Amino acid sequence: MRISRSFFCFFAFISTAWLATPAFSGDFPSDFAVDPAVVNMTLEPKVVVNSGKLEWVPFSRDLTPWVSLSYEDKRPAARPRQVKLVEPLQGDPVRGRELAIARDKGYCIVCHQLPGEQWAGTVGALLLNFKKHNYPNELVFQQIFDSRVFNPISVMPPYGTFGILNEQEIRDLVAYLQSLD
């Protein structure tokens, strides 16, 4: 079994504040590729052939809320967070599968193999026949919410702590995984 149960205890709670990083109160770091005047402030470069200018176009989403690599970015990153799942699970496995595949939600298939998906990643564990592990729901919930509680250097995104998925969405994903025969 990969998820280690010994680490698991119920000290923490789920708070209602989801977002990970404090916003900037003043100006952005001077080296950010941003345009504060557009809705999605993050910019993407566009190389124009035979031109000495680099063009910048708005990126499809705003990435300024999360810590960057800029030395001027002094916002603390979100620390690992332990949570308690209140049962019953009440997750929707059909919705869970959609979330597992959706690019801007779980997108678990980048790293994991799930039934019926081609081009699966090989970074994470196989999630086929997940039911056979008999993991308790709260364990799976914590793994998705913030896997760093079990493995401090896990590369799996802390979906809950970083505000990528909300509590119900994680419940749906747990329900989906627990349904995989």
Partner 1 sequence: MKRALPLLLLLAATAQAATSAPAPYRQFDPMEDYLPHVKGDMSLSGSYKHWKDPANLDWRMAGNPEENWKLNWKFMDPPFNASVHGGHFAADRGEEIFHELNRKAGRTGKFATCLGARKGNLKGLRSQYPMYRKDLRHVAGLEEVIEHCAAKEGRELQNGSYDNSAVSVYVASQSTGMPIKINVTSAGPLKSAYERGRKVFHARAGRINLACSSCHTYQIGLHLRGTVVTTPYGDVAHYPVYRTRYQLQSLHLRFIECNLATRTQPLKPGSQAYTDIEVFLTGLTNGYPVSVPSERD
Site mask, partner 1, residues 115-134, x = CB under 8 A? ----xxxxx-----------
The structure tokens listed for 30 are: 């001077």
What is d(CA 156, CA 72) in angstroms, rounded to the nearest whole number?
26
Among residues 78, 112, 120, 149, which is the contact residue for ligand HEC, using CB under 6 A?
112
Which residues are CB-neighbours of 82 under 8 A, at least 6 positions away?
9, 11, 12, 142, 146, 149
Examine residue 33 and tell whether it contacts partner 1 (CB under 8 A): yes
105 binds partner 1 (CB under 8 A): no
- Shortest distance, position 105 Cβ to ligand HEC, whole Å: 7
112: Cβ contacts below 8 Å, ≥ 6 apart: 120, 121, 123, 124, 125, 126, 127
> Any contact of residue 120 with ligand HEC (CB under 6 A)?
no
CA atoms within 13 A on the CB side of 1: 13
76 sits near partner 1 (criterion: CB under 8 A):
yes
Which residues lie near ligand HEC (CB under 6 A)? 2-3, 100, 106-108, 110-112, 123-125, 133, 140, 143-144, 147, 151, 154-157, 159, 173, 177
